[in-house]
């Protein structure tokens, strides 16, 4: 496993953990998520922020906006970040 993959695995675990809190705070149910929150992650797998959309809007940085809740693996997070950044 590369250090980048390990970072994505760590970030995926973190996002799964905070997704529960975000959903609880927003009154989400199993059937409907009303979070409207995003995690902002760079190509190295580092979570830059959660829920600060205005800060990253228009930024030249290669930052992916991943919708919350997130309940995937590190590999799924890599794919989501690459898809968001590169299309």
* Domain range summary for the chain, segments of one domain joined by +: 3-86
For residue 57, what pLDDT is reported? 66
HSE-up of 7 (CA within 13 Å, CB side)? Answer: 13
pLDDT of residue 32: 83
- Whether the ω angle into residue 69 lies within 30 degrees of 0, i.e. cis, is yes
Q: What is the pLDDT of residues 7-40, one digit of tens each?
A: 999 999 999 999 888 888 888 887 887 777 889 9
pLDDT in tens, 39-87: 999 999 999 988 866 666 667 788 999 988 899 999 999 999 999 999 8
């Amino acid at each position: 496993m590369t250090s980048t993959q390990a970072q994505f695995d760590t970030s995926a675990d973190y996002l799964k953990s905070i997704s529960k809190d975000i959903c609880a705070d927003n009154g989400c149910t199993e059937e409907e998520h009303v979070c409207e929150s995003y995690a902002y992650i760079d190509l190295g797998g580092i979570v830059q922020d959660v829920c600060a959309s205005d800060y990253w809007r228009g930024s030249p940085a290669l930052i992916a906006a991943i919708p919350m809740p997130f309940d995937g693996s590190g590999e799924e997070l890599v794919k989501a970040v690459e898809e968001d950044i590169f299309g």
